[in-house]
Amino acid sequence: MRKKQLEIALQKLAAHPSPSAELEQYMTPGDVAATLLHMAYARGDIARRTICDLGCGTGRLAIGAALLGAKKVIGVDIDPIALKIAARNARRVGANITWIRCDVGKFESSGINTVIQNPPFGVQRRGADMKFLHRALKLAGVVYSLHKATPRNRAFIAKRAKELDVKITDRLELDFRIPRQFEFHTRDTYKFKVDLYRIERGDKNG
């Protein structure tokens, strides 16, 4: 599936009817999701691999991985409503995905090759993004993760990668747009930069 086709397919998936600001429940924009998934596909991290989408929300990344030929896909989120919509979205496109309701900090599983995630940026709850990143690196040998592109975040993630002895193989700056959806939003669209990271653990499995 070409990148543009994937972006259009993901864009059509249903959104959360009542997103929570505290859980930072905004969907990954279709173009950003397609860029992450295509990069992962090109690196051999999707096809015939077991993929986990942490904080899967309504399922964009998980469903995209299934459409690109993943062997098995697991989507994890704390919110049952998001998971219900994700399951409906997956059924509509014929994607076979296991949906699990769990706090990311407690999620355990073996045999995952690649984690793909758009974690909360930690704007509402400080450190939420790093909680996701630490869990992702425990679960899989390769992690694709989106983070707000700020000098502070870049320095922090680079420092943590050193401490954890993992390698940032790629960092790609992308535009990220979210529509007005929370009470405190005063503009129609919010535009900012995010960094897409690919991180590898030294003992990368499979």
Ligand X SMILES: C[S@@+](CC[C@H](N)C(=O)[O-])C[C@H]1O[C@@H](n2cnc3c(N)ncnc32)[C@H](O)[C@@H]1O
Q: Which residues bind ligand X (CB under 6 A)?
A: 23-28, 55-58, 60-61, 77-79, 82, 103-105, 118, 120
Residue 100 burial (CB < 10 Å; 0-12/13-18/19+)? middle
> What CA–CA distance (Å, rounded) separates 74 from 104?
12
**Nearest CA-CA partner of 117 in 77, 84, 89:** 77
**Token couple for 61:** 């990344």
What residues contact 15, with CB distance under 8 A and at least 6 apart? 27, 58, 85
Minimum CB–partner distance for residue 106 and ligand X (Å): 8
Decide whether 31 or 77 has the Cβ nearer to ligand X. Answer: 77
Decide whether 79 or 195 has the Cβ nearer to ligand X. Answer: 79
Minimum CB–partner distance for residue 47 and ligand X (Å): 20
Minimum CB–partner distance for residue 189 and ligand X (Å): 16
Residue 41 burial (CB < 10 Å; 0-12/13-18/19+)? buried
Decide whether 60 or 201 has the Cβ nearer to ligand X. Answer: 60
Minimum CB–partner distance for residue 202 and ligand X (Å): 26
Decide whether 123 or 162 has the Cβ nearer to ligand X. Answer: 123
Give the angle 43-73-87 at the CA atoms, nearest 5°. Answer: 135
Minimum CB–partner distance for residue 25 and ligand X (Å): 4
Decide whether 37 or 167 has the Cβ nearer to ligand X. Answer: 37
The neighbouring-strand residues paired with 72 are: 50
